[in-house]
Structure 1
Amino acid sequence: MIRQEQIWGALDKIAEDNGLSPSGLARLAQLDPTTFNRSKRTTNQGKPRWPSTESISKVLSVANVTFQEFAQLVDGNGAGRVPVIGFAQAGNRGFFDDAGYPVGGAWEDITFPALHDPTAYGLRIAGDSMAPVFRDGDLIVVSPASNIRPQDRVVLKTTSGEVMAKELVRRGAMGVELKSLNPAYEDRYVEARDIDWIARVLWVSQ
């Protein structure tokens, strides 16, 4: 099982390899300079805290470190395996159960830094309908178990098999209002009865 200190240690190693302090690495990633400080690694109650997936993603991008390289830094044997399919495949039957969790044996597995979410899976983007946020070839990691809040990026599948990635504007008992990531495509409102499942996007690899 991956421990918090392994993740922090990997971030410290990336900072060291780039001749930076943890604060310097945070600045490079355009984060608050205190993001990786020792004081931020525990809660006020003294319990270990996980760095956010968003902050890790920004560090990997600016430091030009791949997910696989980061996983090796965390622990060569401790990285998780994430099932992945193409975005277009997500609309087909047999890949998800009724709750939107991945099922079946047709998924590709990839090594991925520990997300501490055994339900997470990956979708490979195809086309430009989600540009410039998600581009053709990007890998997005999705969590059906995570709570969803306004302004979260989400993937939604309709009962007719349509799959879309957009920003959640509002979610109510009658349906969800979604903002398109690509302004060339229309925003959407999907009634609750037409939603097969909706899941939060945790991470994007660009």
Structure 2
Amino acid sequence: MLTHNQIWKGVDLLAARTGLTPSGLARRAGMDSTTFNVSKRTSPDGSRPRWPSTESIAKALDAVRVDFEEFAALATGASRTRSVPLIGFAQAGNDGFFDDAGFPVGQGWEEVVFPGVEDAHAYALEISGDSMVPVYRDGDRVVVAPGELPRRGDRIVVRTRDGEVMAKELVRFTEEGLELASLNPEYPGRSLKTAEISWMARIVWASQ
């Protein structure tokens, strides 16, 4: 059985793995932004622990597509780890580094270790520049899963056929193309036609 501290640790790690705060995780799950606040974790006088509801945990897990087994592993520190290749954003824009499905090709990549990454084709990208602040900053590393189909609200990495690589939030995904929201309010969103897209991959973990 998970302890009170483990449950809340799991919530914090669940948020962090996709670059969210606990408040951001609650909003992503369609709940009040204060649902997972630190102030909600004990009684007002601090004498009694408060637990998140089963429903709120279930909604959070569904929002970031994590099952309870993996959540429990995060909470207890027993999550599995694996090595994934690390690729720079500048490299990701060059031809020859990826196949048509967006999987990295070749050998000799530097590798980094991340927990809880199931996609056999997952790899890490190192963020460069400020176009993704405050969510991702220069030097942050994100793990992407090209084998997972993104859905509305997911953060994704997209490469255009012109070699532009960007991390955005998926607003709409249709046969005609994508509508993307910028992670940095100083940068505009984007609309891309299907013919303009080389590949896209869902962000499943962030190290900051």
TM-score under structure 1 normalisation? 0.68
1:81 to 1:187, Cα distance in 2 relative to 1, 3 A = same
1:185, distance to aligned residue in structure 2 (A): 0.9
Q: Which has the higher contact order (CA 8 A, sep 6+)?
A: 2
1:191 alignment counterpart? 193
Amino acid at match of 1:103: V
1:117-147 Cα deviation digits (max 9, x unpaired): 2111000001100000111110000000112
Question: Alignment identity in percent?
Answer: 47
Secondary structure, aligned partner of 1:25? helix
Select which of 201, 204, 207 maps to 1:205: 207
Residue 156 and residue 52 in structure 1: after superposition, are their counterparts in 2 closer, same or farther (change >3 A)?
farther
Aligned with residue 25 of structure 1, among 2, 5, 9: 9
Which amino acid letter does the alignment assign opposite residue 119 of structure 1? Answer: H
**Structure 1 residues 187 and 28, CA, compared in 2 at 3 Å: closer, same or farther?**
closer
- Paired residues, what number? 162
Asked whether the 8 Å contact 1:130–1:181 carries over to 2, the reply is yes
Structure 2: runs of 5 or more not aligned:
14-21, 23-35, 37-50, 55-66
Say if 1:28 and 1:204 are closer, same or farther in 2 by CA, change over 3 A: closer
Distance 1:134 1:123 in 2: 11
Alignment partner, residue 165 of structure 1: 167
- SS class of match (2:92): helix
Match in the other structure for 1:65: none
* CA pair 115-50 structure 1, distance change in 2 beyond 3 A: farther
**Which residue is equivalent to 1:38?**
none
Q: CA RMSD of the aligned region, Å?
A: 3.0
Partners of 1:28 and 1:197 in 2: CA distance: 30
In structure 1, distance between residues paired with 2:120 and 2:11: 31
Q: Tell me if 1:51 matches 2:35.
A: no
What TM-score comes out, normalization by structure 2 length?
0.68
Task: Compute the displacement of 1:105 (Å).
Answer: 1.6
